[in-house]
Amino acid sequence: MLFPTITFAVFFLLVFVGNWLLMPRPRLWKPFMLVVSLFFYGWWDWRFVLLLALSAVANQFFALLVERTSSRTGRKWALAGAVAANLAVLGWFKYYGFFVTSVADLLDTFGLNADLPLLRIVLPVGISFLTFRVLSYVIDVYRGRLRTSSLLDFAVYVSFFPYIAAGPIARASEFLPQLTAPRDPRRVDTARAFFLIFAGLFKKMLLADYLATHIVNGVFTTPGQYSSLEVLLGIVGYSVQIYCDFSAYADIAIGISLLLGFDLPDNFNAPYTAVSVQDFWRRWHMTLSNWLRDYLYIPLGGNRKGRSRTYVNLMITMVLGGLWHGAGWPFVFWGFLYGGALIVEHARVDRRKDRAARRRGGLDELARMTAVHGLAEGEAGTASPVLPPAAAGPPALEYDRRPWRGRVWPRVGVFAFVTFAWVFFRSDTFGAALSVLARLFQSWGSIGAAVTPGVLLAIAVGIGMQYVPRPVWQRGEAGLSALNPVLQGLVLAVGFMLLDILGPVGPAAFIYFGF
C-alpha cells in the first residue's frame, strides 16, 4: 500500500480512529495495531506477513535466550545465532541471485562451467530495514541496555506500519519504551505531523517523480541520446531525486507516527549542505549511519585500535553499508568510494593532530627547560607561561578538526563527490555507470531538449530547500498549529488539490522499498 493513494488515506483514517479509541486499553490497542500493520504489509503480498511473524517469533526467542543464559559464552552463542539467522534470511531473499551469478562468473573465469540453480525469489518489501530493526533489539538485550519485552510488544515494534517499508530504522530502545504507557490524546503534535506529511508528498510527487520521468531515467538508461549538459543535469537530478524520494518517505512515516502518538527518529538533516563526507553521513539516512556506527563500526574496534585499524574499520563499514543497499558490485563500489573518502578525511585530520601534538611536544620541552633553567637561577615559584598548573592535567590538543577548511568549497566538493558516487548507485552495472560518465565529455555542442525550466527548477528547489534554516520551517509549523482544525483541513485540502494537478499520473513506488 503506497502512502500517496486514496486507499491509504481511507486505511489511515480508520486506523487513526481505532488507535485513539483503543489507546487507553493497551490489551486491545496492541493487537489492533499489530493486525492493521500486518494488513498494511500484506497488501503487497500476503506471504510477507508470514516472514514478519516468523521474524518476530524467532528474534524474541533469541532475545530471551540471550537474557536468560547466565554464561557469557552462552550469551555470545545465542547472539551469534540471532545474527546468523537474520543475515541468512536477508541473504536468501536479497543476495541469493547475486551470490550465485558471481560464483558462476568466477568459475567461468577458471574455465569451469557450473550450472548453478537460479531461482525466482520475491524480495519482501523493506527486508533490510526489518533485519536491522530486529538485530538492534537482540544486540541491545545482549549489551544489557534493554530488557526483553513481551512478544506482543515486540511484534508491534517489528511490524509498526509507518516505518515498515523504508524506515526510519527506529531502534527497539527508542520505540519499545513508548509502548509502556498509553500516548496522551490531548497532546498530539498535529501541526508538525501535517507539515511533514505534506512536505513528503511535495518532495515525492513534485520533485522526485518529476525528475525521474523528465530526465533521470532517460539519461541513466540511454545516455547516448543526451547531450553532455543533459547528462550532467540527469546526474545532479538523480542526487535530488533520491534525496526527495527517500526523505519524503521518512517525513511521511514520522508524520503519520506523530498523529498516532509516536515519535520516530529523524532520518535526514539537509544532507547536501554537508561540509565533509563525515558530515554527510551525519545528515543522510541518519538512522542507518548510527546503526552502522553502533552495531558494526564500534564492535569492529572503531577508532580504539590504532589508525590503520580505524581506516580498515571505516572501509569495512562503508562497503557493507553499500552492500546493504543492494545486491550488486556497483553498490559495493559505492560503499568503497565512501570508505575511501572517509579514510582520506580521517587521515587529513590525523595529520593535523600529529602536527599539533608535535608542536605541543616542542613547547612542553621548551617549558620544561625554561622551568629547569629558572629553578637553577633561583627563580623558584615563577609559574610557567606555557604550561598550566600541574593539577589541571594536560589540556586537549588544539587543532582544526574539520577535514576541509572553508564554507563554500567544501560544500561544493562534497556535493560533487556524493553526486559522482550516486552514478554507481543508480546504474545496474559498471559499464552502464561508465557510459553515463563518459557521455559527460562527449557532446558539449548542444544544450538538449531535456534541459527545461521545469527540470532546472526542480533541481534548484530540491537543493535550495536544504539551505533554508530550520527555524523557518519551525515557524511554518507553529503558524499551522495556530489555525483551528477546520482551517488546517482546508489548507491541506488545497495543498492536496495542487499536488494532484501538478503531480504525475499515478503514484510511483519509493526507491528505498527495494532495499
Give one DSSP letter per residue of 355-389, joined into a string. Answer: HHHHHHHHHHHHHHHHHHHHHHTT-TTPPPSSSPP
The nearer residue to another protein, 104 or 296, going by C-beta atoms, is 104
Choices 9-17, 61-69, 162-170, 332-340; region in contact with another protein by CB under 8 A:
9-17
The nearer residue to another protein, 431 or 464, going by C-beta atoms, is 431
CB atoms near residue 198 (< 10 Å):
19
CB atoms near residue 178 (< 10 Å):
16
User: Smallest gap, in angstroms, from Cβ of residue 502 to another protein?
Assistant: 7
- 126 — phi, psi (to 5°)? 65, 25
Q: What is the C-alpha separation between 487 and 144, in angstroms, rounded?
A: 48
Is the distance from CB of 251 to CB of 200 less than 8 angstroms? yes
SS3 300: coil
From residue 409 to residue 448, the character string flagging contacts with another protein as x (rule: CB under 8 A) and all else as - is -------------------x---x----------------
**104 contacts another protein (rule: CB under 8 A):** yes
Choices 53-61, 214-222, 238-246, 376-384; region in contact with another protein by CB under 8 A:
214-222
User: Smallest gap, in angstroms, from Cβ of residue 184 to another protein?
Assistant: 7
Q: How many residues does this entry show for the chain?
A: 515
Pick the closest to residue 153 from 39, 59, 261 (CA basis): 59
∠ Cα 221 222 224 (to 5°): 145
Site for another protein (CB under 8 A): which residue of 141, 465, 477, 515? 477
Q: How many CA within 13 A on the CB side of residue 471?
A: 0
| 325 is a catalytic site residue | yes
User: Smallest gap, in angstroms, from Cβ of residue 222 to another protein?
Assistant: 5
Site for another protein (CB under 8 A): which residue of 11, 18, 20, 312? 20
From residue 154 to residue 183, the character string flagging contacts with another protein as x (rule: CB under 8 A) and all else as - is ------------------------------
The nearer residue to another protein, 311 or 515, going by C-beta atoms, is 515
Query: Tell me, what DSSP letter sits at residue 120?
Result: -
Site for another protein (CB under 8 A): which residue of 25, 68, 368, 475? 475
CB burial of residue 169 (10 Å; 0-12, 13-18, 19+):
buried
Give one DSSP letter per residue of 376-429, joined into a string. Answer: HTT-TTPPPSSSPPGGG-PPPPP----SS-SSSHHHHHHHHHHHHHHHHHH-SS
Site for another protein (CB under 8 A): which residue of 33, 138, 139, 193? 193
Choices 71-79, 136-144, 403-411, 478-486; region in contact with another protein by CB under 8 A:
478-486
Is the distance from CB of 217 to CB of 426 less than 8 angstroms? no
Is the distance from CB of 433 to CB of 330 less than 8 angstroms? yes
The nearer residue to another protein, 18 or 413, going by C-beta atoms, is 18
**496 contacts another protein (rule: CB under 8 A):** yes
**510 contacts another protein (rule: CB under 8 A):** no
71 Rama sector, left if φ>0, alpha if ψ -120 to 50, beta otherwise? beta
Say what angle helices 228-259 and 190-201 make with each other, to 10 degrees.
Answer: 150
User: Smallest gap, in angstroms, from Cβ of residue 438 to another protein?
Assistant: 13
**349 contacts another protein (rule: CB under 8 A):** no
User: Smallest gap, in angstroms, from Cβ of residue 123 to another protein?
Assistant: 5
The nearer residue to another protein, 399 or 496, going by C-beta atoms, is 496
Binding to another protein (CB under 8 A) within 106-145 occurs at: 108, 118-120, 122-123
Site for another protein (CB under 8 A): which residue of 222, 382, 442, 452? 222
The nearer residue to another protein, 69 or 102, going by C-beta atoms, is 102
User: Smallest gap, in angstroms, from Cβ of residue 379 to another protein?
Assistant: 52
**469 contacts another protein (rule: CB under 8 A):** no
- 284 — phi, psi (to 5°)? -100, 130
Q: What is the C-alpha separation between 312 and 13, in angstroms, rounded?
A: 49
Choices 25-33, 128-136, 227-235, 495-503; region in contact with another protein by CB under 8 A:
495-503
Choices 230-238, 290-298, 345-353, 497-505; region in contact with another protein by CB under 8 A:
497-505
Chain-centroid distance, C-alpha 418: 14
Omega into 168 within 30° of 0, i.e. cis? yes
Chain-centroid distance, C-alpha 106: 32
Sign of CA dihedral 443, 446, 451, 453: positive
Site for another protein (CB under 8 A): which residue of 261, 302, 374, 413? 261
**399 contacts another protein (rule: CB under 8 A):** no
Choices 16-24, 55-63, 271-279, 310-318; region in contact with another protein by CB under 8 A:
16-24
Number of residues that bind another protein (CB under 8 A): 63
**Contacts (Cβ under 8 Å, ≥6 apart) of 449:** none
The nearer residue to another protein, 385 or 471, going by C-beta atoms, is 471
Active-site hit among 214, 285, 325, 346: 325
The nearer residue to another protein, 50 or 478, going by C-beta atoms, is 478
What Å distances lie between residue 448 and 27, 112, 224, 435, CA to CA? 62, 47, 12, 18
List residues binding another protein (CB under 8 A). 6, 9, 13, 16-17, 20, 97, 100-101, 104-105, 108, 118-120, 122-123, 184-194, 218, 221-222, 224-225, 259, 261, 263, 266, 428, 432, 471, 474-475, 477-478, 481-482, 484-486, 488-490, 492-494, 496-498, 500-502, 506, 514
The set of catalytic residues is 325
